[in-house]
Structure 1
């Protein structure tokens, strides 16, 4: 068993190493599920086979020592050298390969359950959500807000809240579902979303916005015009640069592209059933639904709601809209 455990650890190290150096794309949810199953198997084997076998061997050692002492006592020998306690403790000691498998099962199980059904941490890699979220923000995502989904296969089994305009949502990128993206929901099923001349319209109505002056983007080291936007009651800040009015051009022939009309003014799209239209708060520095299409419901990961750490700026810690 120690050889098998060593072999399994070698596979794990090779997999993580290849993932880290970019030789292949990893699936952390699947990896965590496999680790949970494997450590569970070791934990069950330890509880119902290996530990009882060690207990039995230790009991036999003590019994044999007691029997030996009784025989010697019958011969008039009262003092007997040797203490089996040290040997008994050594027999009862858990081998390293069980300590690093069965012993890790409770921890891995807790992480698996928390990450799969409650909260999952993410790191913001780009500036597409500035000023709401900055590069380096470590955020928490509520996994059960939109419903309970089975881990790995991501099939919803219990519904919860509906997706609302204005939600900041993490989802699997439709073009490459192995990547997680974060954007703001601006359109829900049935909505007609228009982004024309850098103005957002929902079902023909312009979204109210107010100028807040310039915002200094620490990452890009430039000042950008900042506005506050009210999207279905959710007030949040956005960046819009009037000097960059290049209309969006679709990157690919995405599903339901026939629902969209592109012009020199911008884009207008009718959101299909079971899909959502996403945009970044940094409107001129965000590749979003304007370019690659709609996000299907099955791609939803969860609702982002809290910055739990930013090592470069501790003041970033807190909730956001």
Structure 2
């Protein structure tokens, strides 16, 4: 006679469930999760993207005091990009200006018109319609690279930057060229306030 085994139903249903994770395992798992998420966040914050706030009126009307922007820390810098860099006078403070001159460019400003390499530039991002003629002449006067920096062209590995609010901006007209290595990043996207969310230069 063949042997056969028999397991009572009560024994089948009374099997003990698999041992649940211990409290220590749960804590360790949560800790690792937090470390990974924090590491990813910091990597993006340091190397890729970061929020930046606008202080002051030097970039009006493009940017307003209190605007918050998304800073892109990678990619090439092009002419007319809005960039962020440490203040030449106070490295704890960030400046936001527009790149006007790239290496090799000749920059001239004459009769309220900007010339780059001899070509007149229509600067749609500027609005000085409410500024008096006397202020325009005194605060946005004629200049050339030769007159303010003693050179004909923007040097290699440097930028010439200006604020959009030309009558109320401390920029390359006063502190000179910005070294490429000083640039923290560039920005095109405004994320606050929400009613003005979007690209800062819609005409691009």
TM-score range, shorter chain: 0.7 to 0.9
Q: Does the aligned pair in 2 maintain the 1:194–1:200 contact within 8 Å?
A: yes
Indicate how the Cα distance of structure 1 residues 291 and 103 shifts in structure 2: closer, same or farther if over 3 A, else same: same
Match of 1:145 among 62, 75, 93: 75
Secondary structure in structure 2 of the residue aligned to 1:122? strand
Residues 1:114 and 2:56 aligned together = no
Aligned counterpart, 1:243 = 134
Q: Per-residue deviation at 1:134?
A: 1.0
What pairs with 1:167-182 in structure 2 (closer than 5 Å)?
Answer: 167-182=81-96
Q: Does the aligned pair in 2 maintain the 1:305–1:319 contact within 8 Å?
A: yes
Post-superposition Cα deviations, 1:160-218, rounded to whole Å, max 9, x if no partner, equal xxx2211111122333333221111110111111223432121233223xxxxxxxxxx
Distance in 2 (CA, whole Å) between partners of 1:93 and 1:168 is 47
Q: Does the aligned pair in 1 maintain the 2:83–2:98 contact within 8 Å?
A: yes
Indicate how the Cα distance of structure 1 residues 268 and 196 shifts in structure 2: closer, same or farther if over 3 A, else same: farther
Indicate how the Cα distance of structure 1 residues 108 and 194 shifts in structure 2: closer, same or farther if over 3 A, else same: same
Q: Does the aligned pair in 2 maintain the 1:239–1:283 contact within 8 Å?
A: no
Match of 1:293 among 176, 186, 203: 176
Aligned counterpart, 1:133 = 63
Distance in 2 (CA, whole Å) between partners of 1:276 and 1:131 is 22
Aligned counterpart, 1:70 = none
Aligned counterpart, 2:15 = none
Higher relative contact order (CA 8 A, sep 6+): 2
Secondary structure in structure 1 of the residue aligned to 2:181? helix
Indicate how the Cα distance of structure 1 residues 133 and 269 shifts in structure 2: closer, same or farther if over 3 A, else same: farther
Match of 1:123 among 53, 71, 81: 53
Secondary structure in structure 2 of the residue aligned to 1:106? helix
Aligned counterpart, 2:155 = 272
Q: Per-residue deviation at 1:143?
A: 1.3
Q: Unpaired segments of 5 or more residues in structure 1?
A: 1-84, 147-162, 209-228, 230-235, 250-258
Distance in 2 (CA, whole Å) between partners of 1:133 and 1:119 is 19
Q: Unpaired segments of 5 or more residues in structure 2?
A: 1-18
Indicate how the Cα distance of structure 1 residues 91 and 118 shifts in structure 2: closer, same or farther if over 3 A, else same: closer
Secondary structure in structure 2 of the residue aligned to 1:287? coil
Normalised by the length of structure 2, the TM-score is 0.72
Post-superposition Cα deviations, 1:61-94, rounded to whole Å, max 9, x if no partner, equal xxxxxxxxxxxxxxxxxxxxxxxx9xx9566674
Distance in 2 (CA, whole Å) between partners of 1:173 and 1:276 is 14
Match of 1:261 among 147, 151, 172: 147
Distance in 1 (CA, whole Å) between partners of 2:79 and 2:178 is 14
Q: Per-residue deviation at 1:104?
A: 4.0
